[in-house]
């Protein structure tokens, strides 16, 4: 299952642009993150994922890497990043960097060489046809911009050419096989990048678009998985304490086949996770489970999640997220109480949870103009709200200099106030994370079982190891009766649940954790 530290890991995702500016230039930086490590630690998080902080023209917020081995000057230096690893480790915090293996920026020196007409070492580092005029088998491509005659494949935006890991069944002579020297060279180049940062002290990687490597891969992604297994072997052998989490959202493939330690449960595919927090894009309004009285149904989540959990639990961890830099913040639609219940659920599920910066105070999704290729994602990327000081404590720069504007509302949530308020979302999150650390049964490995999913009159009741948990996001009081309640007492609650004589009463919008006496 990988490194032992994952069992009790609670991650905090930091979008470095927007977390803390330490040098008054309006943009977050590594020293800023270092200054806030005590905050992360007091939140109870013992691991970080930092979005790409490497040299980049920032056409996609850094997911367009120009130099994998160089920290972007706006964030600081490589030495600052190494200092961050050390300071984090001093506090018992592991640090994952963001690895973008599927593409680079079109400004990357490899690509610039690759685009030259004269063949060179990098000619086949990317996927090119041998003629600029005929397109690329229905794949997104660019042609007509380079001295080389050929179209090159895109992996995401126009600035992100696809690296060449070969094709599963190459049927044109310009397609490389997965075991061709050029595909092998790409794998070795990415391994080299990983080694570079692991040797410098990082604890692993979040892997961007991990399923996107081999083109025309089969439906099981067998060839792409084989590459990750090879990389996992390298890690098991040389960096056994390092961890990999995939942006794949398919645990059957990512965990069971490809060997990732963790796989994100993302909202991309309108899956079970989405039905919990963001079921507002289907017709007929919002039916998110944690929206009070929105007619949500936990079974829609369970139908999707349970089979995935059962099949993958021996192989790795499904990672629940509060949100991420691509996803609308949950506070876009959920109230403070709804957020508390949703986070209580996420933080008591198996696997390894991730909290996106600012979600712990209920930061809002803002209506912002696109920045660095963010488009509608930009609204979830605004500066962290620390206090009521200038720019909410994010930066001392003039407001118009900021990377993105801070939430202008008078009642914008902030850390300082919520720390002083026992009833705040932040205080609840801190208590929930502490609870998870206190009970091994709430951590990554303890089994999850459904006890009562019929919510007509009962709350949703589930088990984690020896613990019994219940959640009632509706406004109606619900009750659960059962043998399992015998000899149990409440060890955590939101709202006013009560248990007596074999009956658990859950008032509207409540959550309970019960342990054996």
Question: Could you give the C-alpha distances from 437 to 69, 202, 245, 441, 489, in angstroms and in order?
Answer: 35, 23, 21, 9, 19
User: According to CB under 6 A, which residues from 63 to 92 bind ligand NOJ?
Assistant: 63
CA 340/CA 421 separation, integer angstroms: 14
Size of the site for ligand NOJ (CB under 6 A): 9
Min CB(409)–ligand NOJ separation in Å: 26
H or E element: which one contains 22?
none
Min CB(66)–ligand NOJ separation in Å: 14
Min CB(49)–ligand NOJ separation in Å: 11
CB of 1 or CB of 189, closer to ligand NOJ: 189
CA 228/CA 220 separation, integer angstroms: 14
- Nearest to residue 316, comparing CAs of 414, 222, 246? 246
Min CB(102)–ligand NOJ separation in Å: 7
CA 508/CA 291 separation, integer angstroms: 12
Interface pick for ligand NOJ out of 209, 243, 432, 442 (rule CB under 6 A):
209
Q: How many CA atoms lie within 13 A of 259 on its CB side?
A: 16
Q: Establish if 115 lies at the interface with ligand NOJ (CB under 6 A).
A: no
CB of 325 or CB of 371, closer to ligand NOJ: 325
Q: Could you tell me the two tokens for 142? A: 């660019």
Interface pick for ligand NOJ out of 55, 106, 208, 217 (rule CB under 6 A):
208
Q: Is the CB of residue 206 less than 8 Å from the CB of residue 242?
A: no
Interface pick for ligand NOJ out of 12, 156, 264, 356 (rule CB under 6 A):
156
Please spell the DSSP secondary structure of 87-154, one letter per residue: HHHHTT-EEEEEE--SB--TTSHHHHHHTSSS--TTTTSB-B-S-TTS--TTS-EE-SSSSSSS-EEB
Q: Establish if 13 lies at the interface with ligand NOJ (CB under 6 A).
A: no
CA 187/CA 181 separation, integer angstroms: 10
- Nearest to residue 514, comparing CAs of 471, 474, 457, 456? 471
CB of 55 or CB of 60, closer to ligand NOJ: 60
Q: Establish if 252 lies at the interface with ligand NOJ (CB under 6 A).
A: no
Min CB(156)–ligand NOJ separation in Å: 4
**Residue nearest ligand NOJ, CB atom distance:** 63
CB of 326 or CB of 417, closer to ligand NOJ: 326
Interface pick for ligand NOJ out of 113, 326, 416, 417 (rule CB under 6 A):
326
Q: Establish if 60 lies at the interface with ligand NOJ (CB under 6 A).
A: yes
Q: Establish if 100 lies at the interface with ligand NOJ (CB under 6 A).
A: yes
Q: What residues line the site for ligand NOJ (CB under 6 A)?
A: 60, 63, 100, 156, 208-209, 247, 325-326
């Amino acid at each position: 299952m990988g490194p032992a530290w994952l069992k009790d890991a609670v991650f905090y995702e930091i979008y470095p642009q927007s977390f803390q500016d330490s040098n008054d230039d309006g943009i977050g930086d590594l020293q800023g993150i270092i200054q806030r490590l005590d905050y992360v630690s007091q939140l109870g998080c013992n691991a970080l994922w930092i979005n790409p902080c490497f040299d980049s023209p920032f056409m996609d917020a850094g997911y367009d890497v120009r130099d994998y081995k160089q920290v972007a000057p706006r964030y600081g230096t490589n030495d600052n990043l190494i200092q961050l690893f050390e300071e984090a480790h001093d506090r018992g915090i592991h640090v994952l960097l963001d690895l973008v293996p599927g593409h680079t920026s079109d400004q990357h020196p490899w690509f610039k060489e690759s685009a030259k007409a004269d063949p060179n070492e990098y000619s086949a580092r990317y996927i090119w046809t041998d003629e600029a005029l005929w397109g690329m088998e229905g794949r997104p491509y660019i042609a007509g911009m380079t001295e080389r005659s050929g179209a090159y494949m895109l992996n995401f935006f126009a600035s992100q050419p696809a690296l060449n890991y070969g094709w599963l069944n190459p049927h044109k002579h310009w397609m490389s096989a997965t075991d061709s020297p050029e595909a092998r060279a790409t794998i070795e180049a990415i391994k080299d990048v990983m080694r570079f940062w692991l040797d410098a002290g990082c604890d692993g990687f979040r892997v961007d678009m991990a399923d996107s490597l081999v083109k025309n891969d089969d439906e099981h992604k067998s060839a792409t998985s084989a590459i990750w297994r090879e990389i996992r072997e390298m890690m098991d052998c040389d960096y056994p304490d390092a961890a990999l989490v995939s942006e794949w959202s398919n645990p059957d493939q990512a965990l069971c086949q490809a060997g990732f330690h963790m796989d994100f449960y993302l909202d991309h595919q309108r899956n079970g996770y989405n039905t919990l927090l963001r079921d507002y894009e289907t017709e007929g309004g919002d039916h998110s489970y944690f929206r009070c009285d929105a007619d949500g149904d936990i079974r829609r989540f369970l139908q999707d999640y349970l089979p995935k959990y059962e099949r993958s639990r021996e192989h790795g961890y499904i990672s629940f997220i509060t949100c991420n830099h691509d996803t609308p913040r949950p506070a876009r639609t959920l109230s403070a109480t709804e957020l508390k219940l949703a986070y209580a659920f996420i933080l008591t599920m198996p696997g390894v949870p991730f909290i996106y910066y600012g979600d712990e105070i209920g930061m809002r999704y803002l209506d912002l103009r696109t920045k660095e290729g963010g488009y509608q994602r930009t609204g979830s990327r605004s500066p962290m709200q620390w206090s009521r000081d200038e720019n909410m404590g994010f930066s001392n720069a003039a407001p118009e200099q900021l990377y993105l504007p801070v939430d202008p509302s008078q009642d914008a949530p902030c850390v300082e106030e919520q720390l002083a308020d026992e009833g705040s979302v932040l205080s609840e999150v801190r208590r929930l994370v502490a609870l998870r650390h206190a009970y091994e049964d709430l951590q990554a490995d303890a089994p999850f079982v459904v006890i009562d999913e019929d919510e007509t009159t009962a709350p949703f009741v589930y088990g984690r190891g020896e613990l019994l948990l219940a959640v009632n996001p509706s406004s109606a009081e619900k009750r659960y009766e059962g043998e399992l309640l015998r000899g149990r007492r409440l060890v955590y609650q939101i709202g006013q649940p009560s248990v007596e004589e074999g009956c658990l009463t859950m008032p509207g919008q409540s959550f309970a954790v019960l342990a054996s006496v």
